[in-house]
C-alpha cells in the first residue's frame, strides 16, 4: 500500500471500487494512537472519499465505542490472532473470512495425507 493524502491527513492506502468509489484505508497496530486513526478516516470522508476503513486488531476494535462507526461511510475492521477478518456493522460483529479459511485448512490437510 502506498500512503495517500486525504485533505489535511495522510491515510495508509486508497482503493477504488468497481463503481469508481474511492475508499481510504487506515491501518493501526495496538500500540498506535487509535483516536488519530479515527480522525484520519473522518478527514478522508470530509475530503471527498466515499468510504473510510479503520483496520486494527480485534481486541482493540472491540474496546472502541461503536457509535462512532455508525456514521455513514466509516467502517471498522478487526483482525484476530488467527488472521480472521471481522467487520463491525450496526447489527454487531460479522466474520468475513471463516469459510475461506476452512476450505484452505481442508486443502492443506488433504495434501499432507
d(C-alpha 34, C-alpha 57), whole Å: 11
Residue 110, pLDDT score: 46
Residue-wise pLDDT tens digits, 47-68: 999 999 999 999 999 999 888 8
d(C-alpha 66, C-alpha 84), whole Å: 20
The total number of residues written for the chain in this structure:
113
d(C-alpha 57, C-alpha 60), whole Å: 5
Residue-wise pLDDT tens digits, 56-112: 999 999 999 888 888 788 999 999 999 999 999 877 888 987 655 555 555 554 444
- What is the pTM for the complete model shown? 0.80
Q: Report domain extents, the chain.
A: 4-112
Amino acid at each position: 500500500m502506498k500512503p495517500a493524502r486525504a485533505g489535511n491527513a495522510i491515510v495508509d492506502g486508497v482503493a477504488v471500487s468497481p463503481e469508481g468509489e474511492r475508499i481510504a484505508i487506515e491501518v493501526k497496530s495496538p500500540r498506535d494512537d487509535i483516536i488519530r486513526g479515527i480522525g484520519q478516516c473522518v478527514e478522508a470522508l470530509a475530503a471527498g472519499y466515499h468510504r473510510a476503513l479503520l483496520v486494527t486488531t480485534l481486541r482493540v476494535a472491540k474496546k472502541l465505542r461503536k457509535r462512532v462507526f455508525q456514521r455513514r461511510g466509516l467502517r471498522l475492521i478487526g483482525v484476530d490472532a488467527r488472521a480472521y477478518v471481522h467487520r463491525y456493522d450496526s447489527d454487531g460483529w460479522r466474520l468475513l473470512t471463516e469459510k475461506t479459511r476452512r476450505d484452505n485448512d481442508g486443502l492443506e490437510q488433504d495434501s499432507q495425507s
